[in-house]
Amino acid sequence: MEFIIAESTEDMSRRAADHIAACLQADPDCVLGLATGTTPIGLYAELVEDCAEGKVSFAGVTTFNLDEYRGLAPEHDQSYRYFMKKHLFDHVDIDQARTHVPEGANPDAHAVCAAYEEAIAAAGGVDMQLLGLGPNGHIGFNEPEDTFPAATHCVDLTQSTIEANSRLFECIDDVPRQAYTMGIGTIMAARSVLMVVEGAHKAEIVKKAFFGPVTPQIPASILQFHQNVTVIVDPAAGELCRDKA
């Protein structure tokens, strides 16, 4: 594992964008796994600028997002399809027919999850998976559990996750209680993993996830077993790990 404490939040975003840009340049037809949340917004902005300047192209890229709220249509302004269009897809030269987000509006969880796994396999697997880190250590919407879920599945969101995401909705009652998410096995099958983390409120979970025991109670800790993972944190998120970097 490569663990990097960036000089600033902006530096974290630029470094992460450079990792993705390098993947695009090495393989213009690569498969990217993408994440949502406030942390990746800066790196998506960097990639949009890079594309506008002709430094990178998404023309041959296929993407798979980690997750989507169950029950939200893609047009809903809090759906992750909407997020990706707003922050990346509508601003780069990507073929949006090759962008994939779990079908949140479909209530048939088995069909949605099985189709997503099949689509990832048909694309040849994910070359680089981008991740954020939840306050309780979740990746995607894989919440703390007794085991590591293997494949894409429907998950009941924990109260802490609902509360953390409520800032994006008009009120907490509007936050969906379930989501479709790639499983830990699906994430671990990516050929490389890139994680970005920002904020002092994540400092403790960063330390536990990457320098503590591997346990399904901290889902991100499984990444310690991945053979090609890069973690880039801003100074506040890395404050408790300065002796590790």
Q: What is the mean pLDDT of the chain?
A: 95
Instruction: Specify the number of domains making up the chain.
Output: 1
The parts of the chain modelled with pLDDT lower than 50 are: none
How confident is the model at residue 28, as a pLDDT?
97
Catalytic residues: 67, 136, 138, 143
**87 CB-near residues (< 8 Å, 6+ apart):** 40, 41, 44, 45, 48
Burial 110-131 (b: 16+ CB within 10 A, else e): eebbebbbeebeeeeebbbbbb
| pTM, rounded to two decimals | 0.94
Instruction: Mention every residue, 6+ apart, whose C-beta is less than 8 A from residue 65.
Output: 33, 34, 35, 36, 80, 81, 84, 99, 100, 101, 102
> Is 190 part of any domain?
yes
Within a domain: 172: yes
Q: How does pLDDT run across 121-137, given as a tens digit for each residue?
A: 999 999 999 999 999 99
- Does residue 245 lie in a domain region? no
Evaluate whether residue 37 is within a structural domain: yes
Contact yes or no for 152/180 (Cβ under 8 A): yes
Find all residues with CB under 8 Å of 100, minimum gap 6, and list them. 62, 63, 64, 65, 116, 119, 120
Its domain, for residue 122, covers 2-240
**CATH number for the domain harbouring residue 75:** 3.40.50.1360
The alpha carbon of residue 105 and the mean position of all alpha carbons in its chain are separated, in whole angstroms, by 20
In a domain, 122, yes or no: yes
Q: Which residues contact 60 (CB under 8 A, 6 or more apart)?
A: 28, 29, 30
Is residue 99 domain-resident?
yes
